[in-house]
Amino acid sequence: MKRITTIEEYHTEYAKSVKNPEAFWAEQAADFTWRKPWKEVLEWNFEKAETKWFVGGKLNITENCLDRHLANRGNQTAILWEPNSPLEEARKISYSELHTMVCRMTNVLAQNNIKKGDRVCIYMPMVPELAVTVLACARIGAIHSVVFAGFSAKSLSDRINDSECKMLITADGGFRGNKTTPLKDIADEALLSTPSIETVLVHKRTEQNINWTEGRDKWLHSELAKVDANSVATEMDAEDPLFILYTSGSTGKPKGVVHSTAGYMVYADYTFRNVFQYKEGETFFCTADVGWITGHSYIVYGPLLAGATSLMFEGIPTYPDAGRFWEIIDKHQVNIFYTAPTAIRSLEAAGLDFVKPYKLDSLRVLGSVGEPINEEAWEWYNHNIGKGRCPIVDTWWQTETGGILISPLAGITKTKPSFATLPLPGVQPILVDSDGKEIVGNGVEGNLCIKYPWPSIIRTTYGDHERCFTNYFATYKGLYFTGDGCKRDEDGYYRITGRVDDVLNVSGHRLGTAEIENAIDEHPLVIETAVVGYPHDIKGQGVYAYIICSGEIADEDKLKKEINETVTKIIGPIAKPDKIQLVKGLPKTRSGKIMRRILRKIAENDMANLGDTSTLLDPDVVADIVKGRV
Ligand code: WT7
C-alpha cells in the first residue's frame, strides 16, 4: 500500500479521493489477499443508513494480518507484550508464532461449536491471548464483542444478551497496578442472567481461586492442548460483520456498533500507515485497552495488517510509578507512541522527575486520541516527551468511524496545538448549523458531519438498524452526524470542540448522561437525578450529579459512598460521579423538561451566564442549587 510522503502528495491524493472515491479506494484495496475480487467498490444510501464497500469481494482479514506476512517477516515480532509488573518477563511473539497461536485458538472455537456468524464475547485483561482470541474469531468468521474488563457484571450481561453471544472468553483475573480484578467472579455473576452462553473459556493469568461450573467452564490451556495448528480461514464476504463494539449514546442503553470486514480492514491499514507514517521494522505502542475501538484498530488490526510490531501493555501508567510509559519506551525502543490527553495530563501532574531518567530517543512520532487535547498538555508532550523533534498527531475519530478521520500526517501536515488539522483522503467533513444548513468558508463553527462514506463507517447497530439511522443519519438528511461541535479556522484546519449532545467524555471514556442517571436512580433513596459534565483538570470532563432523595438524609457522606458503589456495580468505576450535590428540586420547564444548560453552568461555576430562568416552573430552585454547589 502506498504511503503519502509530502504535503503536495496529500493534496493530490485528497483531491483524487473526492473526485473519484471508488477508484481511490480500489487502488488502496488492491494489495490485500482477496479470495475473490469485488464486483462493485461502493453502494450507499445515507437516507437508509446503508453502506457497502467492495461488494461481492471474498476474504478473511486474518490471512491479511498473519498468513500474508509469513514469507517475509515470519520471524519478526508481531506482538511485544509488556506485563503489569516490570519484574515479570516481557513476551515477544513473532508473526509465525502468532499465526500458530491463532490457528490453534480457531480450532478450539470450532471444537466448541462456534461457527461463522456466531457472537463471541471476550472479557479479558490485556494479555496476548486477548489479541489471539479476537483474531481467532475473525478467522472462523464469528463476530467478536470485546467488553472492557473494567465494566461491571451488569454491563457485561447486558452486552452479552443484546447480541446473544454463544460463548464467553475470560480469565481467572487480571493484574492492574497493585490490584487484581476478579474477572471470573464478575463473569460468573453476569452469567446468572445470560441464557445464550453455552461455553466459557477461561485463560489462566492470576491463578486466584475461582468457582467452576462443570460442563460450561473450560480452561483455555486444556482446550488448546487438544487441537493442532492447522486451520484454514473461513471465507468471508466483504460485508460480513467482523465485530460488535458497544458504546454509549445520549439516550438509552449502550448500542452495539457493527463493523464489517473488508472496508474496516482497508481503512485500518491505510490510516495506520499514513497517519503515523509507519516505517518497516518500527515498534508501535498504543496505550489503549483492546476493549475500546482504539485498541481494536491500532493495537490489533492496523499494526498487524501493516506488518508492524505492536506493543501491548497489561498495566497502568502509574505502576510501579508515573515513569512506567517512559521506562517501557526506552526498554523496548518504541518508535511511535499513541496515548490519550488524560494520561498526558496526569503524568504531567506527577512531575518531571518521572521523565528525567529516560532517554526517549527512540521516539519518532507521538499521537493523541480520545478527547480534545488542550494546548498546555500538547506543549508538555511535545517538549518533554518528544523533545521538540517528534511530530504530534492529534487524531479525531469515533467508535462508529472505525478509524481515524481527521488528523495530521506525521511530519507532513504542519501541526497546530489543539487542532486535529485536516481530513484524511476519502473523508469529506462538512459543518452545519442547527437547521442542517451548510456553513461554508473558513473561520466558522458548527456541528460536524461527514457527507460521503469512507470504508470503515458504521454499518448498523446490532439488532436495531432503525436506531443506527435515527442516531447518525436522521438529524441532518443525507449526512452522517458525529455528535461533535467543530471549528474550521482561517487555514481550513479543524478543531473539535467537544460533544454537542448528552454524551460525556471522562478520561477519554465515553459515557451517556442518561446511562449514569439510570444507574444512580437504582439507589433506593434516590428519587430523581440529573447528570452533567464539567471541566476537569486531569479527566477532561468530570461527572456532576444533582440528586433528589426521599426524606431527610442523616449521613450525607455515607449516602454518597453508596451512590458511588451503585454506579460501580451497574456500569463500572469509570462512571462514578466526581461530585454529588443533594438538591430539593431540579430546574424544569413548565412541560417538565430538565434545563440541563442551567445545571451545566452551575457545575462549571459560571453563574454569570445562567441565562433566562423566568420560564422555569419554579425559578427558586436555581438559587438553592447555586447556594449548595459542591
Ligand atoms: C468521541 C468518540 C476515537 C477513539 C477513542 C474514542 C472525542 C476522540 C478526539 C480528538 C477531540 C476527540 C469526540 C468523539 N474525540 N478523539 N482527537 N479531539 N475529541 O472513541 O469512545 O467512540 O468517542 O471522542 O467527542 O465524538 P469514542
Q: Quickly list DSSP for 364-375.
A: -EEEEESSPPPH
Q: Which of 464, 41, 21 is nearest to 257 (CA)?
A: 464
By alpha-carbon position, which residue is closest to atom 20 of ligand 1? 398
Q: Taking 90 as the threshold, does the pLDDT of residue 527 lie above it?
A: yes
Residue bearing cell 526506552: 330
Q: Taking 90 as the threshold, does the pLDDT of residue 377 lie above it?
A: yes
pLDDT in tens, 310-332: 999 999 999 999 999 999 999 99
Residue bearing cell 454547589: 629
Determine whether the shortest distance from the Cβ of 399 to ligand 1 is under 6 A: yes
Q: Taking 90 as the threshold, does the pLDDT of residue 206 lie above it?
A: yes
Quote the ligand 1 centre to 628 CA distance (angstroms). 33
Quote the ligand 1 centre to 7 CA distance (angstroms). 25
Q: Taking 90 as the threshold, does the pLDDT of residue 590 lie above it?
A: no
The mean pLDDT value for 116-128 works out to 98
pLDDT for res 617: 86
Determine whether the shortest distance from the Cβ of 483 to ligand 1 is under 6 A: yes
The mean pLDDT value for 563-585 works out to 97
Determine whether the shortest distance from the Cβ of 408 to ligand 1 is under 6 A: no
Instruction: Name residues whose C-beta falls within 8 Å of residue 571's C-beta, 6 or more positions apart in sequence.
Output: 151, 152, 154, 155, 511, 515, 516, 519
By alpha-carbon position, which residue is closest to atom 21 of ligand 1? 510
**Across the strands, what pairs with 53?**
42
- What does the alpha-carbon distance between residue 411 and residue 393 come to, in Å, rounded to a whole number? 9
Q: Which of 605, 365, 412, 405 is nearest to 486 (CA)?
A: 405
Residue 319, Cβ density class (10 Å: 0-12 exposed, 13-18 middle, ≥19 buried)? middle
Q: What is the largest CA-CA distance in the chain?
A: 74
Averaged confidence pLDDT in the chain: 97
pLDDT for res 419: 97
Q: 570 vs 122, 253, 563, 564, CA distance in Å?
A: 19, 12, 11, 10
User: What is the CA 212 to chain-centroid distance, rounded?
Assistant: 32
Q: Taking 90 as the threshold, does the pLDDT of residue 621 lie above it?
A: yes
Closest atom, ligand 1, to C-alpha of 510? 21
pLDDT for res 211: 98
pLDDT for res 611: 86
pLDDT in tens, 42-64: 999 999 999 999 999 999 999 99
- DSSP calls for 563-589: HHHHHHHHT-GGG--SEEEE-S---BB
pLDDT in tens, 394-410: 999 999 999 999 999 99
Q: Taking 90 as the threshold, does the pLDDT of residue 613 lie above it?
A: no
- What does the alpha-carbon distance between residue 435 and residue 409 come to, in Å, rounded to a whole number? 33
Asked if 38 and 269 count as a contact pair (C-beta separation under 8 A), the reply is no
pLDDT for res 539: 96
DSSP state of 421: B
Region for residue 492 given its phi and psi (left: phi exceeds 0; alpha: psi -120 to 50; beta: otherwise): left
Q: Locate 55 and state its grid cell.
A: 461488494
pLDDT band at 340 (very low <50, low <70, confident <90, very high): very high
Query: Is this structure's pTM higher than 0.85?
Result: yes
**% of the chain residues with pLDDT over 70:** 100
Amino acid at 205: R
- Rounded (10°) CA dihedral 274, 275, 279, 285: -140
The mean pLDDT value for 200-218 works out to 98
Q: Which of 188, 176, 182 is nearest to 209 (CA)?
A: 182
Residue bearing cell 475519530: 397
DSSP state of 493: -
pLDDT for res 530: 97
State which of 259, 505, 515 you would mutate to test the pocket of ligand 1, scoring each by most atoms of that ligand within 8 A of its C-beta: 505
Q: Locate 69 and state its grid cell.
A: 506476512
- What does the alpha-carbon distance between residue 60 and residue 68 come to, in Å, rounded to a whole number? 11
Q: Taking 90 as the threshold, does the pLDDT of residue 185 lie above it?
A: yes
- What does the alpha-carbon distance between residue 333 and residue 269 come to, in Å, rounded to a whole number? 23
State which of 345, 398, 421, 574 you would mutate to test the pocket of ligand 1, scoring each by most atoms of that ligand within 8 A of its C-beta: 398
Determine whether the shortest distance from the Cβ of 299 to ligand 1 is under 6 A: no
Q: Which of 165, 164, 176 is nearest to 122 (CA)?
A: 165
Quote the ligand 1 centre to 505 CA distance (angstroms). 8
Closest atom, ligand 1, to C-alpha of 407? 17
Domain positions in the chain are: 7-424, 503-627
Instruction: Name residues whose C-beta falls within 8 Å of residue 383's C-beta, 6 or more positions apart in sequence.
Output: none
Q: Locate 603 and state its grid cell.
A: 457545575
Q: Taking 90 as the threshold, does the pLDDT of residue 386 lie above it?
A: yes
Asked if 307 and 95 count as a contact pair (C-beta separation under 8 A), the reply is yes
The beta-strand segments (E) located in 440-570 are 444-450, 460-461, 480-488, 494-499, 503-506, 509-512, 526-536, 540-549
Q: Taking 90 as the threshold, does the pLDDT of residue 616 lie above it?
A: no
Closest atom, ligand 1, to C-alpha of 483? 26
pLDDT for res 37: 98
Region for residue 211 given its phi and psi (left: phi exceeds 0; alpha: psi -120 to 50; beta: otherwise): beta
Fold of 503-627: GMP Synthetase; Chain A, domain 3 (3.30.300)
pLDDT band at 453 (very low <50, low <70, confident <90, very high): very high
Q: Taking 90 as the threshold, does the pLDDT of residue 598 lie above it?
A: yes
Roughly how many angstroms between the first and final C-alpha of the chain, as a whole number? 54
The mean pLDDT value for 422-438 works out to 97
Determine whether the shortest distance from the Cβ of 395 to ligand 1 is under 6 A: yes
pLDDT in tens, 357-368: 999 999 999 999
Q: Which of 167, 174, 187 is nearest to 108 (CA)?
A: 167
Quote the ligand 1 centre to 369 CA distance (angstroms). 7
Q: Locate 314 and state its grid cell.
A: 497489561
DSSP state of 502: S
**Across the strands, what pairs with 423?**
406
pLDDT in tens, 212-257: 999 999 999 999 999 999 999 999 999 999 999 999 988 888 999 9
- What does the alpha-carbon distance between residue 535 and residue 471 come to, in Å, rounded to a whole number? 26
- What does the alpha-carbon distance between residue 133 and residue 91 come to, in Å, rounded to a whole number? 17
- What does the alpha-carbon distance between residue 534 and residue 546 come to, in Å, rounded to a whole number? 13
Asked if 354 and 386 count as a contact pair (C-beta separation under 8 A), the reply is no
pLDDT for res 19: 98
**Across the strands, what pairs with 204?**
none
Q: 310 vs 291, 302, 334, 338, 344, CA distance in Å?
A: 16, 9, 10, 11, 21
Q: Which helix (H) or strand (E) holds 621?
A: helix 620-627
Determine whether the shortest distance from the Cβ of 246 to ligand 1 is under 6 A: no
- What does the alpha-carbon distance between residue 368 and residue 384 come to, in Å, rounded to a whole number? 15
pLDDT for res 216: 98
pLDDT for res 368: 98
The mean pLDDT value for 100-114 works out to 98
The mean pLDDT value for 381-400 works out to 98
User: Is the CATH number 3.30.70.270 carried by domain 7-424?
Assistant: no
- What does the alpha-carbon distance between residue 323 and residue 219 come to, in Å, rounded to a whole number? 36
HSE-up (13 A, CA, CB side) for residue 520? 30
- What does the alpha-carbon distance between residue 572 and residue 128 come to, in Å, rounded to a whole number? 24
State which of 345, 396, 405 you would mutate to test the pocket of ligand 1, scoring each by most atoms of that ligand within 8 A of its C-beta: 396
